Amino acid sequence: MKLMEVLTFWYRRIWYVLGDELGYFAASLSFYTVFSIIPLFWVLFYVLSQFDAFAVYYSGIRQFVLLNLVPANTETVASYLDAFLENSKTMGVMGLVYILFSSVMFFNNYQYVVDKIFIKADYSLLHAIRTYFVLAFLMPVTLAASFYLTDVIQNAVGKYGDVMHLLSLLSFCMTWVLFFVLFKVSPNMRMHYKIVLLVSFLVAGIWQIAKTLFVHYVISNEIYESLYGSFSVMLFFLIWIYFSWYLVLHGLRLCYLLQYRKIYRGVIND
């Protein structure tokens, strides 16, 4: 009887962590991501352009973002995005309104999902807008600062030998920092630093492994390309976006579970 109770307990825990709602939330965020990806890129690179010190890292940041956003067929998707971004330079007032509207709608939906995960009843559009502006500023600055530190480390270590073996580690560290910022800022509650560090490290590790496996799968699998032709690029892009959100949402849920456990034990006060 005790064995059945233990199995039932862990079954419920695992099902809660893998809750089927997160699949629907990931699908919803994937749709909004496709809808608002150009405005989000525009905001990202606009913020970066305001810092002259980071201008030298622009191309590196662009490549890093694209490789993580579209690990397969990167150059094809990059050409489409570059064309859209180039056209956005000639947009008028309505174009700016569209960028603002789609960006706010994306973060409004994202904040709604986060509040559902953290079981927060005080959801508000104001907090979604605040999260948008915080992330819109922190993400580009974090990326630029990461590339600056990477450059400093490469220059320092490069005097004593080859630095190629450090690139994968530095890429992982940048991904880890970005997930840390996302998990720390998104919840409408005070998050414990150790929890966010641990979960963001775990998610970043899974992300890197999944990205490598995904690229190998796309390269070795010719079925989708023969069936869908050039449209297979968009198909793989959507699959990766969905998986990415699915992973991020599980990371947020794990943050909540660990945070709730600490609050319950009285380790921290919330």
pLDDT digits (tens, 9 = 90+) for 121-172: 555 666 666 777 777 666 666 666 666 666 666 566 555 555 555 666 777 8
208-218 pLDDT per residue, tens: 888 888 877 77
Greatest mean pLDDT among 61-65, 98-102, 202-206, 221-225? 202-206
Would you say 232 and 217 are in contact if contact means Cβ atoms under 8 Å apart?
Answer: no
**Whether pLDDT at 267 is above 50:** no
Percent residues over pLDDT 90 in the chain: 6
Cβ neighbours of residue 255 closer than 8 Å, sequence gap 6 or more: 183, 187, 191, 195, 196, 199
> Does the pLDDT of residue 48 top 90, yes or no?
no
Record the tokens describing residue 17, joined without a space: 């962590």
Average pLDDT over residues 43-52: 66
Which residue, 85, 84, 76, 87, is CA-closest to 237? 76
CB 109 within 8 A of CB 125: no
Q: How far is CA 9 from CA 1, 12, 38, 246, 261, in A?
A: 12, 5, 45, 24, 16
Average pLDDT in the chain: 72
pLDDT of residue 264: 47
Question: Domain map of the chain by residue range?
Answer: 36-265
Question: Would you report the helix, strand and coil content of the chain in percent, each value rounded to 5?
Answer: 85, 0, 15
Q: How many CA atoms lie within 13 A of 150 on its CB side?
A: 25
2 pLDDT band (50/70/90 cuts)?
Answer: low
